[in-house]
Amino acid sequence: MKLATHRISQLVLTDHEFQVPLDHGKPSGAQITVFAREVNAAGREHANLPWLLFLQGGPGMAAPRIDNNHGQWWTRATKDYRVLLLDQRGTGRSSPVNYQTLACLPSPQAQADYLKHFRADSIVRDAELIRLQLAGKDKWSTLGQSYGGFCTATYLSFAPEGLRECIITGGLPPINQTADDVYRATYLRVLGKNRQYYARYPGDAVRAREIADHLAAHDVRFPAGNRFTVQHLQSLGKNFGASSGFEVVHYMLETAFVDGAHGREISHGLLHAMEAQSIYGTNPIYIMLQEACYTGHNASNWSAHRLLAEYPQFDAAKNEQVLFTGEMFYPWDFDAHPALQPLKAAAQLLAEFAAWPELYDRKVLQANTVPVAATIYWDDMYVERAFAEQTAGLIQGCKVWVTNEYEHNALRADGARVLDRLLGMLHGEV
């Protein structure tokens, strides 16, 4: 269903809503809403352009909202395409999943069973239903950023007949690896990022130690009332995979303390900045299904948590240097964040679930005929380069741009240039 149309920054935005089955195996069962925003260059909204579906990173993140920044990738994309920004199921305006909506379900088991329908396989089936409504028999192109690239590989596996061409930016998934393989590699990457961070900002080693010691000795509370722990502090390392991530953390730490009425204390500036970093209340899929991205017929059993013991360098109580962790999530997160506390039992059930369907068909990928172009970022902290290279070799005809010019967020940082190069690769111009 087509909804409102708006104009901004020489673009025409049209809102769409679609009804899709919660469980695609039961098409006549419960339905959910999926929202998408169509983006066209002003004056070309009625042109007969091919569709480009954007698959957002995550999991559990809504598609980007259009602003006045003319350097964004959609400025380049709308020269050749009619762009569709998909709020993947459970995100943004697509039957949102959060602690409020999940509270409508009667038990943790019901919550877990509901969330089992929010992985890439369901997202791809949603996309195919939407394609048929918007494009009819025409195929469309896809642009998958990070987790959106994982979804693209699932799309290529199970519905390649709907695809004209595919672009993947920093999201070639680890197809032959387990969750444990992924987190072992990722912990090593994060250790490297910590070394780089402290080499750039050596004074922050003392500052981080001072903050950690203060948190261990004092009951410091966020404005929401939950306690600020050393683990919270260490979680700032999830920023290190972005081009400006070191600066984000450095500028937070440099204003960590103020002299208050009772002596030296953690500043409200840092407390508010830390809370702003947390998206758990609005995007719990991000933490609850993160490890499920790497599972097939097996349980993750809190892989990142189990493997943390193999890397004692991250124990801030036993090491002088406080090391930051990355995009890893732990059972204690569900105790530490008020919006996650009601979902802890469901998260445990998901971590123990071992009957996940496969997300990729290796034989189909090896026989792929859809043109694919992908970036692999040499120092990517979130998607291990070696695994991505293996997957690129598995997908027949996949063209790859391996670069150390960018971090994982290249599509956001320099989107028009990145997309232009990948399109050139697809079309034989590079």
Whole-number pLDDT of residue 343: 97
Task: Say whether domain 2-175+360-426 belongs to CATH 3.40.50.1370.
Answer: no
Cα-based angle 120, 235, 63 (whole degrees, multiple of 5): 35
* CA trace torsion 92, 81, 163, 123 (10° rounding): 0
Distance from the first to the final alpha carbon of the chain: 39
Residue 338, SS3?
coil
User: What is the rounded distance in angstroms from the CA atom of residue 143 to the CA atom of residue 152?
Assistant: 8
Whole-number pLDDT of residue 71: 73
Whole-number pLDDT of residue 381: 97
Whole-number pLDDT of residue 70: 66
H or E segment at 422?
helix 415-426
**Number of Cβ atoms within 10 Å of the Cβ of 211:** 22
Q: Domain ranges in the chain?
A: 2-175+360-426, 179-352
| Ordered strands of the 82-86 beta sheet | 2-8, 11-21, 31-41, 82-86, 51-55, 140-145, 163-169, 372-377, 398-403
Indicate the pairing of strand 398-403 with strand 372-377: parallel
Residue spans of beta strands (DSSP E) within 108-256: 140-145, 163-169
The candidate with the shortest Cα–Cα distance to 291, out of 311, 313, 307, is 307
**Number of Cβ atoms within 10 Å of the Cβ of 261:** 5
pLDDT truncated to tens, each residue of the chain (430 aa)? Answer: 778 999 988 999 999 999 999 999 999 999 999 999 999 999 888 889 999 999 999 999 999 999 877 679 999 999 999 999 999 999 999 999 999 999 999 999 999 999 999 999 999 999 999 999 999 999 999 999 999 999 999 999 999 999 999 999 999 999 999 999 999 999 999 999 999 999 999 999 999 999 999 999 999 999 989 999 999 999 999 999 999 999 999 999 999 999 999 899 999 999 999 998 888 878 999 999 999 999 877 899 999 999 999 999 999 999 999 999 999 999 999 998 899 999 999 999 999 999 999 999 999 999 999 999 999 999 999 999 999 999 999 999 999 999 999 999 999 999 999 999 999 999 987 7
Structure tokens that stand for 41 in this block? 């260059």
Query: What is the crossing angle of helices 245-253 and 268-277, to 10°?
Result: 150
